Amino acid sequence: MIDSNSTEQEIFTDKNVRVTNARIIIGGTTYALRNITSVKVASTPPKKGGANKLFFFSALGFIGGLVWFFVGGDPRTPSLILIAASAIFAVLSILWSRSLKTMYHLMVTSSSQEVDALSSFDKDYISIIVEKINEAIVKCR
């Protein structure tokens, strides 16, 4: 435990986070290091429901366009337009789905609660902060 005569030592700092041997400041919130029992990285997978629905309906439109083209008779131009539009929307849905990223969270646990203190798409950034907070906890104890 740090006594009142010791000086606060900075362990890590950037534009969002400051970690010392006595406290952690994230944004505008300060956490006393002595109250923190653990920190960890958690994640929230992206929600791909919209992209999946767009792909599903695109596939239905594509299949419907093919059926219309081969069974429907003349004129075939509307079926070709439906096939092309469906293919374009299918490609867009795949691109949309691939662009969605997992969100990573810095979870700070005390004896009374667990708090999502910081979130980022950059897992390495959150992992570095967890490592530095754990380093501070060891120095504090």
58 shares a domain with 22:
no
Residue 136 lies in a domain: yes
Dump pLDDT digits (tens) for 62-105: 999 999 888 877 788 889 999 999 999 999 999 999 999 999 99
- Sign for the CA dihedral angle at 125, 35, 26, 19 comes to negative
The pTM (predicted TM-score) of the whole model is 0.77
Annotate 71-110 with b (16+ C-beta within 10 A) or e (fewer).
eeeeeeeebeebbeebeebbeebeebeeeeeebbbbbbee
For residue range 93-135, list pLDDT tens digits in order: 999 999 999 999 999 998 889 999 999 999 999 999 999 999 9
Residue 1 lies in a domain: no
For the chain, the domain total comes to 2
Do the domain assignments include residue 2?
A: no
Q: What is the CATH number of the domain that holds 37?
A: 2.30.29
Give the pair of three-digit tokens for residue 18: 């400051």
Range of the domain at 55: 49-99
Does one domain contain both 70 and 94?
yes
Which H helix or E strand runs over 8?
none
Would the pLDDT of 6 be above 70?
no
Q: What is the chain's length?
A: 141
